[in-house]
Chains A and B, each alone.
Chain A
Amino acid sequence: GIQVEQSPPDLILQEGANSTLRCNFSDSVNNLQWFHQNPWGQLINLFYIPSGTKQNGRLSATTVATERYSLLYISSSQTTDSGVYFCAVERNYQLIWGAGTKLIIKP
C-alpha cells in the first residue's frame, strides 16, 4: 500500500518563527489534504491540494504530485498554531494518513 511519511516528527519553535513541514508519499494519489489537530482534539481542514500551491493567511501549501511530496509552510507562527499537523492522501476513496508532525510554539 501507499506509504505516507511526514517530517519532522516533532518541532519546537518560538512565537514568530517560520516553519516548513513535509509530506512524502510513495505512489500516485488522487488527492492530498493537510489537517491541523489542535490541543482540544479538533481536526481542522487546512488545505485540499492535489497539486499546485494554495495560500490561506499565514499558511500556504505546495504539492508536487510528480515528485510525490507536499510542503506546508507556516509563517510568523503563533501559540495557537500548536498541535499536530497531518497529511493525508486519497487513493480509491480511502484516506491514508501520515504519522503527523507535532508542533509546539512557545510564547
Chain B
Amino acid sequence: KNQVEQSPQSLIILEGKNCTLQCNYTVSPFSNLRWYKQDTGRGPVSLTIMTFSENTKSNGRYTATLDADTKQSSLHITASQLSDSASYICVVSGGTGGFKTIFGAGTRLFVKA
C-alpha cells in the first residue's frame, strides 16, 4: 500500500534554533517528492520539489534531502523564525496501477520566542 508517514507529529523549538522534519514513504515507483508549508487557516504553499536524481534542494533557510534508496526525505530549517510556525506537509507522487499523489498528515511546528 502506498503510504507517506511524517514525524514528529508536532515539534516546539526556540527561535533561532535549527530543526529537522522527517518523511518516510512506500510509494513505488517514485516520481517526485514535494514539501509544502501550510500556515494556520491558509492553503499549502510549495517549498521544494525533488525528483529521483536529486538528493538535496534548498529554498532559503529550508533544505530538503532525499534518499530514494531508503525512501526517506527530511526538511531542515535553519535559524528558525516565528514565521516558521506552521504545518509542513510531505507529498509523494508515483505508484503503479494508476499514478497517485499521496499527502502526509504533516508535522506541526511551533517556534517560540
Partners in one complex: no
Q: Which residues of B contact A (CB under 8 A)?
A: none
Q: Which residues of A contact B (CB under 8 A)?
A: none
